[in-house]
Structure 1
Amino acid sequence: MNKQHPVIVVGGGLSGLSLGYALQQQGVPYRVLEASGRPGGVIKSLHVAGFELDAGPNSIAMSPALRAYFEGLGLGELLVEASAAGKHRFLVRNNKVHAISPHPFKIISSRFLSGAAKWRLFTEIFRKRGAANTEETVADFVTRRFGKEIATYVFDPVLSGIYAGNVDRLSIQEVMPMLSDWEKQYGSVIKGMMKSKGMGGRKIVTMKGGNGLLADRLGALLGKDLQLNNKVTGVWLAEDGSYELSVSINGLVSTLKASQVVFAAPAYATAYAIETLDYSLAAALRQIEYPAMGVLHLGYDKNELPAIPDGFGFLVPSAEQKHFLGLIYNSAIFPFKAPEGKVLFTVFIGGAQQQEVLQQPAEMLQQQVIAEVNALLGIKVQPVMKNFQVWEKAIPQLNVGYAEVRNKVARFEAGHPGLYVAGNYVQGVSVPNIISSAEKLAGRIRDAQ
C-alpha cells in the first residue's frame, strides 16, 4: 500500500466519525467521506417548544472508559445520569402495564407470567443442552429453554426495544450471544447468569443538549477532513499499490487515492461501493434487513395527567397488537428533557414486525398511537406537543444466517489488504460498541501504515 495517501473512511455516521477521530488521535492522515449533507447517521437531536428531543439513541450505557472518552471530547460536563426511576422497567400484557424485574427469580414472584411459564423458568436448569454449533432464532432458543410464553411476552418486546427486530428471525448467537454461551458452558442459561459477574451495572446517561452533540463535536474536531455530499461509487486497486475511489461530489465524479479504505457506511451502501471487488460479499450485504422506524415524541401538561408510575418506560409484545413497540418516559429519568410542568414520552413505531404500520398516513398513525398510549396510561387529554420522525432504514437486523456475512467479511479483508468493513452491523449497534471498535480498528490501521 502507498503511504503517501490518506486513509479514507467511507461513511460519516457515528462509526465513521469515531474512527476518524481515533485516527486523528493516533497521527494517521485520514479523510471521512459522507454521502449526505449531515454527519451522524441516526444520531439526531432537536428542540421543540422547550422540549429536548432525541430522534436516535435516547440514552447511553456508561463505563469508566467511555466517560474518559467523552471527557476527552470536552463533553464530560454534559453527561447526566438517569434518576432512580430509570431502574424500573415495565411490560404490557392484556392491555395493562406491569412492573418487571430483569432478574429471573423476581419475575417468578410477579403476576406478569402464568404459573406454567414460571415453572418453565424455574426448571430451566434441568433441561438438556441443544445441538452444538446450531444457529437458532431467538424465538426457537428461548422457547426451547423457557417456553413459548416467555419468548412471546418477554424476549419479543425486549428485542423489539433493542433492535426493532423480529425474534422469529434474529439470531440468538448474534444478538444475545451470552445466553447461547451460558448454555454451552454450564448447560443452563440460569446457571450461567448466576455465575456471571452481576446483571449489568452500567449507569445509564444522556447528554444535556441532546445526544446529537456527540456527532456534532466529533464532526467539529474532524474539521476539513470530514467532507459531506461525497458519495463513494466504486473502489479498485491502483498500479502503485494504493486504492482509487470513484466519488460523486454534488453530482460531479472525481477520483481519489487512499493508502487504506474503511467502509463504515450502512451495509447496503457498502455493497454498492465494493461490488466490482467482491460480488459475493456485496450480495450478502444487500440481504441485511434495515426496517424503517418511526419516532414519535409526545409532550403533555403534567397537571392534566393521572399518576403514572415513574420508570424508564414500557415495551409492548407484538401479541398485544398495538401500533407501537414501546415508550420511554424521558422526563421521569431525565427531568430536564421537558419544560417545568410538562412530561415527555418517546414512542417507537415500526421495526421488523410493524412495517405495514408505517405505510399508513402519518397523521392517522400518530392519532392511533396517541389513543393507545393514552388508554394504557389512563390519560384523558391530548398532547400539547408532538414531533414525528421516520428513519427509512434504521437498525440492521442480525438474522439467522448472519454468521456467513461475518465469514465473507473476513475473507474479503484477508484478500484485500488495506480494506476494512466496519459499521454498526459489524461492530454492534450500541454507542459504546461503536466507539471501542473504532479505537481498536484505528490501531490496526496505524500498524499497517
Structure 2
Amino acid sequence: MIVVVGAGITGLAIGHELLESGEDFIILEASDRVGGVVQSGKVGEHVLDWGPQRGRLTPDFRERVTKFGLDDELLVAETNLGLLIYHDGGLRRVPFSIPEMFTTDALSLRGAIRVLLEPITAGPRDNERVDAYFRRKVGSEAYDTLVGPFFGGLYGSNPADMDVEVALAPILSRAGVRRSLLATLIKRGRISAAPAFSFQDGMERLPQAMAEALGDRVRLGAPVELISATRSGWVATVGDTGERIKAEQIVMATPALAAATLLEHQAPRASATIRALNHNPIAIVHVTADLDADAMGFQVAFAESHRALRGVTFQHCLFNRHRLFSAFLGGSLNPAIVDADDALLANTATKEFEDTTGAPAEAISVWRTQMPAWDLSWRALKDLRMPVGLHVAGNWHTRAGLPGRFAEAKSVTASVLGLSTQSPDEQL
C-alpha cells in the first residue's frame, strides 16, 4: 500500500501514475475538496479562479484534457494575444521578436541595442543572483522594464533575492538555452508558447475530473496527523479517530508547512529545512470593468515600485469572461498590503486598475494566498535528505506550474516503484 497525503494536482497526478502501474494506493485529503491551490467558483454570473488563472495547452496537456473527459468544457485563448507592461505612465507592448524590440515603446533605442549585445556575454556565474545575471545579459533597462517583472511575477518574488542555479537554470535548460538567450530567440524567430487554456467552470475542473477518475481511492476529510515508522514500513494516523493506515511508502504531496509538520519526529533536519522556505503573500482581487484590450494581461515595471498592483490577467480577452479581470497585489515587493482588510485591498486594486488602464473598475472578490518564493532560502533544498520510504512533492519542491506537477508525479512515482521492487535489506 502506498499512501499519498494531499489531493492537490500533484497528489492526484501521482495517483494516476500509481494506477497505471497497478500499485495499491490511497490518497488522503484533509479538506472536503480536491485541487489544493487550484480553486474556482462563481460570484454572481462570473467564474473566478483563486489560484492558477490558466494553463498552457501543450500537446501533452491536450491529451490529458481528453483523458479526463474535459474536451467539451475546454476554453482555448487566441494564439495571437500578446502581453503588456505598465511603464512610464502607460501600457506598452512586450516584444517577442528582435524586430519588435525596435518598434515597441517599452524600450528605448539604446535599450534595444544593448539587448543585441547579449550573445557576447558569458553564461551563469557561480552563486549569481537572477537580477545580476539578467542585468549582465540584457542590460538594466530591459531587465527593469521587461525581464525582471515577468520572471519575478511567476513567484511574486524579487529576482534580486533569487539564485540562478536554483530558480533559473532549470528553466533555461528546458528551453534549450546554453550560454546565449538571444541565440535561442534568433533560431526560433520569436518567443512563442502554447495557447492559454481554462475550462468553462474554471481551472478546478481539472483536479475534479482527475479525482473522479480515481474513484474511492481518494478520501476527503481525512487529515493525516502523524507519520510513524514500523519494522516493515510506515503508518499514517488519520484525524481524531486515530485510524492507522499501514503503508510501504508515504508520499507527502502537500504544502511545505504541512510536510514540515508531518516530518518533525521522523526527519527533524528535513522538517527544519522545509519549514525555513520563504513564501510570498499574494492578494487576488477580481474586478469588473469596461476595457477592451487585445492582450493576456500586464505586469508592472519595477520603476513603479510605489504601486501595490503587480499585474493583471485579462479574463475578458482570454476566455470571453465578460468584463472580468484578475488583479494581483503584494508579493515580496509589497507584502504588507496583503494584511490590509478586504475593503482597503478592494479599493487599492480598483484605484490602481483605473490608474494603469484608464478604466473604472468594481471589485467583486478579494482572496489571499501564498506562493513559494523560490528565493535564496531554496538553496538548502539541495541537501534535503529523506528517510527511506518517505517522499515529498509539490510546487515548493520542484518546478512550479501545471507541467511541473505532472513531471514531478512521474519522477516521484518512479522512485516509489524503484523502492517497492527492493527487499527491506536492499532499501537499507
TM norm structure 2: 0.90
Structure 1, residues 94-145: CA drift from partner, whole Å, max 9, x if none? 12110112335522432212344223212122234453xx132211111122
The residue that corresponds to 2:293 in the other structure is 309
| 3-state secondary structure, aligned to 1:315 | strand
The residue that corresponds to 2:236 in the other structure is 245
1:273 matches 2:262: yes
Structure 1, residues 154-174: CA drift from partner, whole Å, max 9, x if none? 123202432112111122333
- After superposing the two structures, state which structure 1 stretch, 264-273 or 19-28, moved more: 19-28
Q: 1:182 to 1:109 in 2, by over 3 A?
A: farther
Query: Which of residues 72, 75, 79 is equivalent to 1:77?
Result: 72
The residue that corresponds to 1:291 in the other structure is 280
The residue that corresponds to 1:259 in the other structure is 248
The residue that corresponds to 1:217 in the other structure is 209
Aligned residues: 419
Q: 1:179 to 1:32 in 2, by over 3 A?
A: closer
Structural mapping, 1:36-51, within 5 Å: 36-51=31-46
Rounded Cα–Cα distance in structure 1 between residues aligned with 2:409 and 2:174: 28
- After superposing the two structures, state which structure 1 stretch, 200-209 or 187-196, moved more: 187-196
TM norm structure 1: 0.86
The residue that corresponds to 1:331 in the other structure is 316
Structure 1, residues 266-285: CA drift from partner, whole Å, max 9, x if none? 11111111122322221111
Q: 1:201 to 1:360 in 2, by over 3 A?
A: closer
Structure 1, residues 358-387: CA drift from partner, whole Å, max 9, x if none? 1222212211220111122222x443x611
Letter matched to residue 363 of structure 1: A
| 3-state secondary structure, aligned to 1:425 | coil
The residue that corresponds to 2:104 in the other structure is 110
Q: Percent identity?
A: 22
Rounded Cα–Cα distance in structure 2 between residues aligned with 1:41 and 1:79: 21
1:375 matches 2:364: no
Any gaps of 5 or more consecutive residues in structure 2?
421-428
Q: Give the deviation of 1:401 after TM superposition.
A: 5.0
The residue that corresponds to 1:3 in the other structure is none
Rounded Cα–Cα distance in structure 1 between residues aligned with 2:25 and 2:193: 36
Indicate if the aligned counterparts of 2:286 and 2:324 stay in contact, CA closer than 8 A. Answer: yes
Letter matched to residue 445 of structure 1: V
Structure 1, residues 296-324: CA drift from partner, whole Å, max 9, x if none? 11123x4xx5xx33111111124312121
Letter matched to residue 93 of structure 1: H
Rounded Cα–Cα distance in structure 2 between residues aligned with 1:328 and 1:441: 32
Query: Which of residues 11, 14, 18 is equivalent to 1:16?
Result: 11
| 3-state secondary structure, aligned to 1:230 | coil
Q: Give the deviation of 1:258 after TM superposition.
A: 0.6
Q: Give the deviation of 1:148 after TM superposition.
A: 2.3
Indicate if the aligned counterparts of 1:160 and 1:325 stay in contact, CA closer than 8 A. Answer: no
Q: Give the deviation of 1:61 after TM superposition.
A: 0.8
| 3-state secondary structure, aligned to 2:159 | coil
Q: Give the deviation of 1:68 after TM superposition.
A: 1.2
The residue that corresponds to 2:94 in the other structure is 100
Q: Give the deviation of 1:82 after TM superposition.
A: 0.3
Rounded Cα–Cα distance in structure 1 between residues aligned with 2:17 and 2:121: 46
- After superposing the two structures, state which structure 1 stretch, 45-54 or 108-117, moved more: 108-117
1:346 matches 2:333: no
- After superposing the two structures, state which structure 1 stretch, 180-189 or 14-23, moved more: 180-189
1:88 matches 2:53: no
